[in-house]
């Protein structure tokens, strides 16, 4: 039964960058890939953590930019932050 629960949780987990305006959820993890225009993955992760994108934090997408839905305005706990979608792809939410 625990394996079934884990697979359901894995299916619900998505990058924040894939979500639409109005999405509300919890941050599950920060996982930075290698595709960030030459900026080291550790630096992107550090920046996100400093902005408050930590595991368990409440997150909501408030607004999407007019061109390509980028950037997005995100509320993390009580703080509103503008974020590029490519950076939001490193934030996994449930």
Q: Is 61 within 8 Å of 21 (Cβ atoms)?
A: yes
Domain count, the chain: 1
Q: How does pLDDT run across 58-82, given as a tens digit for each residue?
A: 999 999 999 888 999 999 989 999 9
Average pLDDT, rounded, for the chain: 87
At 71, which CATH number? 2.30.30.90
Q: Is 81 within 8 Å of 51 (Cβ atoms)?
A: yes
Query: Is the four-CA dihedral 30, 35, 41, 43 of positive or negative sign?
Result: negative
Alpha-carbon gap, residue 63 to 65, rounded angstroms:
7
Residue 8 confidence (pLDDT): 47
Domain span holding position 54: 2-93
Residue 94 confidence (pLDDT): 96
Q: Which residues of the chain have pLDDT under 70?
A: 1-11, 34-37
Q: Is 93 within 8 Å of 20 (Cβ atoms)?
A: no
The pTM of this model reads: 0.82
């Amino acid at each position: 039964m625990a394996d079934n629960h884990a697979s359901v949780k894995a299916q619900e987990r998505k990058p924040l960058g894939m979500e639409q305006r109005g999405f509300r959820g919890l941050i599950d993890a920060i996982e930075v890939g290698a595709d960030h225009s030459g900026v080291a993955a550790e630096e992107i992760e550090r920046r996100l953590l400093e902005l408050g994108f930590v595991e368990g934090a409440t997150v909501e997408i408030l607004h999407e930019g007019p061109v390509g839905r980028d950037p997005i305005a995100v509320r993390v706990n009580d703080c509103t932050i503008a974020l590029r979608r490519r950076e939001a792809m490193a934030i996994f939410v449930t």
